[in-house]
Amino acid sequence: GAVVSQHPSRVICKSGTSVKIECRSLDFQATTMFWYRQFPKQSLMLMATSNEGSKATYEQGVEKDKFLINHASLTLSTLTVTSAHPEDSSFYICSARLAAEAFFGQGTRLTVV
Amino acid sequence: GESVGLHLPTLSVQEGDNSIINCAYSNSASDYFIWYKQESGKGPQFIIDIRSNMDKRQGQRVTVLLNKTVKHLSLQIAATQPGDSAVYFCAAREGYSTLTFGKGTMLLVSP
């Protein structure tokens, strides 16, 4: 199947700093990628839909100025958590669409201290 | 909007047993359904999918059943193994919209 690579897998940052997470489709081009957030023992919550060459579409309640998404190429989308705070600590997962299927990255565990 | 939910948060089985994980969805217009397996600290892994024009689909040791009348989806795992221990999510989609995930069921397999 198609491979989606997410980097880094784990990151610890200080409160107030920014963190960038990368999502790459390795063997296919993805015009659409998705960013999810997952709290412990909970389901995936869609944060935003990232469209190559255009602005991301954010879900209700997600601050677009805090969670910056850039989809500059057909194989790369980035999520930047700006001015991170402890409440932003979570597991962030990206996925890329290929035809009808969605393939997921390995996830990034963000811890803000 | 659409909601997708699971009946059981945790399912404990013995190795070798068959496991059945259930899911209910609310949007009758959903036409594509997927089951994912998520191991601790990892992203979801595709298991099997089914379209609304089918009511059953089989894979290797897994079977998905779809009952559109009652908007219910199930995942059956035959001869469950310890390596099957994970959280299982169902997801549903209408057309080309985004996936909506259910709450998840943790499957615990005892040797």
Q: Give the nearest chain B residue to A5 (CA atoms).
A: B43
Q: Kindly state the tokens that stand for B66.
A: 């779809």
Q: Which residue has the higher pLDDT, B30 or B97?
A: B30
Contact yes or no for B104 and A100 at CB 8 A = no
Residues 6 or more apart whose CB falls under 8 angstroms from that of B94 comprise B2, B27, B29, B30, B31, B32
**pLDDT of B8:** 46
**pLDDT of B2:** 44
* A104 contacts B43 by C-beta, under 8 angstroms: yes
Angle at A65 between CA A61 and CA A70, to 5 degrees: 105
B86 pLDDT above the threshold of 70: yes
CA dihedral B10, A108, A104, B29 (to 10 degrees): 60
Contact yes or no for A1 and B46 at CB 8 A = yes
**pLDDT of B7:** 44
Confidence of residue B96 (pLDDT cuts 50, 70, 90): confident
Confidence of residue B97 (pLDDT cuts 50, 70, 90): confident
* A52 contacts A32 by C-beta, under 8 angstroms: yes
**pLDDT of A67:** 97
Contact yes or no for B104 and A42 at CB 8 A = yes
**pLDDT tens, B17-41?**
999 999 999 999 999 999 999 999 9
- Establish how many alpha carbons lie within 13 A of residue B4's alpha carbon, considering only the half-sphere containing its beta carbon: 30
Whether the CB of A90 is below 8 Å from some CB of chain B: the reply is: no
Contact yes or no for B99 and A1 at CB 8 A = no
Residue ranges of chain A whose pLDDT lies below 50: none
**pLDDT tens, B39-58?**
999 999 999 999 999 999 99
Whether the CB of A60 is below 8 Å from some CB of chain B: the reply is: no
- Determine the Cα–Cα distance for residues B1 and B101; give it in Å rounded to an integer: 12
**pLDDT of A2:** 82
Whether the CB of A107 is below 8 Å from some CB of chain B: the reply is: yes
Contact yes or no for A6 and B42 at CB 8 A = no
